[in-house]
Amino acid sequence: MTASPARAQRFREFKMPDVGEGLTEAEILKWYVQPGDTVTDGQVVCEVETAKAAVELPIPYDGVVHELNFGEGVTVDVGTVIISVDTDPGAGPAAAPAPSAPQEAAPSAEEEAEPQGRQAVLVGYGAAPSSTKRRARKPQPAVPAQPESASAALQAELNGRATPTPMITPVPVPAAPAAPVAAAPAGRPLAKPPVRKLAKDLGIDLATIAPTGPDGIITREDVHAAAAPAAAAAPAGAPAPVAAAPADTGTVDTAARERRVPVKGVRKATAQAMVASAFTAPHVTEFITVDVTRTMKLVQELKQDPDMAGLRVNPLLLVAKAFLVALRRHPEVNAAWDEANQEIVYKDYVNLGIAAATPRGLIVPNIKDAGSKTLPQLAADLGELIATAREGKTSPAAMSGGTVTITNVGVFGVDTGTPILNPGESAILAFGAVKLQPWVHKGKVKARQVTTLALSFDHRLIDGELGSKLLADVAAVLERPKRLITWG
């Protein structure tokens, strides 16, 4: 039974939109409204995290929140209804919205008594009916009760020795079985072999444990819970009972000291991107150590320059500018590999990515058309990009379309690294820590400010000669920053 047109018009459903480029799911981070709250068209009702960023979702209706379909922390597929709004709350009490698909009537008592076949699913015919739902047996002659037969079968299954039990007509059981049957002793608790070993090692009698697992199975947690009060109950002054030391198997139970966290959101996207890049693009990484004393002096001078007032000036800014100047001298580097069409796509623009560590994980927003910007414009865009990333407000659009990237590992005190390419990009430059080191300058050993740069590039696009020239030019600009003028 479907909802009437009037009712469908009154209760409007808002579905999880595709807030990125082809994203299929998003996690609900926070609800800003609750059922009964009044909302207006364009009001932000929740914050969701996609594989790229955290995004706030506005509601396109006026009315009163009728229902939130999912709680916080739940990952929802794109196109799934997440909230419904009563657009005419003055029309009377709101009943639950009608189901979107017809539902079958509840089965009668006779139908429930009949055995059910396998349910149709997307693939195959689903699981067989549970062995605990059987047809009622016919009256049989009196047979000695065997209360432990089900337990024995279940324990055999736990031990990996379960065998199918054919449906046969019950017959009187002879006094002595024709063949030995592997049945559990009367009252034997149900537990898997590893759990039994754990209980033995801890000196716990399984018969004294209340099981919490399915079908009355004792779990590892049950054993640990039973061991804790047993240890606390021992008198402080009384000597501990002497028990046989368990055999040393060389294994240590570490489950209680491990945490498992679902892989989702930015972490999931980062993992997929890094694996795809590492096993698709053949990486080559080259290194160069350079004296950046003059660059560091220029940074201090720029901080006092009126044209840079109010802007964030730091070594990363000049590294970015040096990278852009070197790319202008070697435009063949700024390209992408099109596997589907077997083409190399050369790009006449540079979208410069800046790797940013955020509480939600690593993201790489980029400055659009960075090669055409002046130094003050680049500083303004770089400062805004970093501030937005730290606030967790970076949009998916800001993280798409990058061509090359810089990762500033030096802020962590690291000399350099072997960075992995952002998928679809041709090169990534790692900027290491700037340290005071002995350096030969004008024929004398002096203390100079030195850093190490690392350049990883896609060897399908960039030969060793081209990659080496690019890295050498970046170093040359940082060694003598006046080349920003002569080469720029």
pLDDT of residue 219: 87
Angle between helices 315-329 and 375-390 (to 10 degrees): 120
Report the C-alpha gap between 15 and 66 in whole angstroms. 14
Show the 3-state SS of 157-204.
Answer: HHCCCCCCCCCCCCCCCCCCCCCCCCCCCCCCCEECHHHHHHHHHHCC
Report the C-alpha gap between 60 and 14 in whole angstroms. 8
pLDDT of residue 108: 44
Per-residue pLDDT of the chain (488 residues; tens, 9 = 90+): 455 555 557 899 999 988 765 678 888 989 999 999 999 999 999 988 876 677 889 999 899 999 999 999 888 888 999 999 999 887 766 555 554 444 444 444 444 444 444 443 333 334 444 444 444 555 555 544 444 455 555 555 555 554 444 444 444 544 444 444 444 445 677 877 777 878 887 888 888 888 888 878 888 888 888 877 655 555 544 555 555 555 556 667 788 888 888 887 777 777 888 888 887 889 999 999 999 999 999 999 999 999 999 999 999 999 999 999 999 999 999 999 999 999 999 999 999 999 998 877 888 999 999 999 999 999 999 999 999 988 888 888 899 999 999 999 999 999 999 999 999 999 999 999 999 999 999 999 999 999 999 999 999 999 999 999 999 999 999 999 999 999 97
DSSP string covering 348-399 = SS--EEE-EEETTEEE--EETTGGG--HHHHHHHHHHHHHHHHTT---GGGG
Report the C-alpha gap between 222 and 199 in whole angstroms. 10
Q: What angle do CA 55, 314, 431 make, to 5 degrees?
A: 80
Q: Which two tokens stand for residue 58?
A: 């506005």
Cα distance between the two ends of the chain = 71
Taking a C-beta distance cutoff of 8 angstroms, is the pair 65, 34 a contact? yes
Report the C-alpha gap between 258 and 260 in whole angstroms. 7
Residue type, 223: V
pLDDT of residue 344: 96
CA distances from 301 to 69, 314, 400 (A): 57, 11, 34
Taking a C-beta distance cutoff of 8 angstroms, is the pair 28, 72 a contact? yes
DSSP state of 255: G
pLDDT of residue 271: 83
Q: Report, in angstroms and rounded to the nearest whole number, the Rg of the chain calculated over CA atoms.
A: 34
Bridge partner list, 353: 366, 405
Q: How far is CA 447 from the centre of its chain?
A: 45
Options 66, 283, 330, 459, the catalytic residue: 459
Report the C-alpha gap between 64 and 87 in whole angstroms. 7
Contacts of 365 (CB under 8 A, 6+ apart): 353, 354, 356, 385, 388, 389, 394, 398, 399
Taking a C-beta distance cutoff of 8 angstroms, is the pair 63, 36 a contact? no
Q: Which residue has the tokens 């072999």?
A: 193
- The SS3 of residue 302 is helix
Q: What predicted TM-score, i.e. pTM, was given to this entire model?
A: 0.58
Positive or negative, the CA dihedral 15, 18, 22, 28 is negative
Please confirm, yes or no, whether 330 is among the known catalytic residues.
no
Report the C-alpha gap between 151 and 190 in whole angstroms. 7
Angle between helices 315-329 and 293-303 (to 10 degrees): 120
Q: How far is CA 194 from the centre of its chain?
A: 31
CA distances from 390 to 253, 357, 362 (A): 39, 8, 11
Taking a C-beta distance cutoff of 8 angstroms, is the pair 430, 453 a contact? yes
Report the C-alpha gap between 385 and 381 in whole angstroms. 6
Q: What angle do CA 321, 325, 329 make, to 5 degrees?
A: 165
Report the C-alpha gap between 411 and 403 in whole angstroms. 23
What is the torsion angle, in degrees rounded to the nearest 10, for the CA atoms of residue 126, residue 128, residue 132 and residue 137? 140
Bridge partner list, 190: 217
pLDDT of residue 132: 43
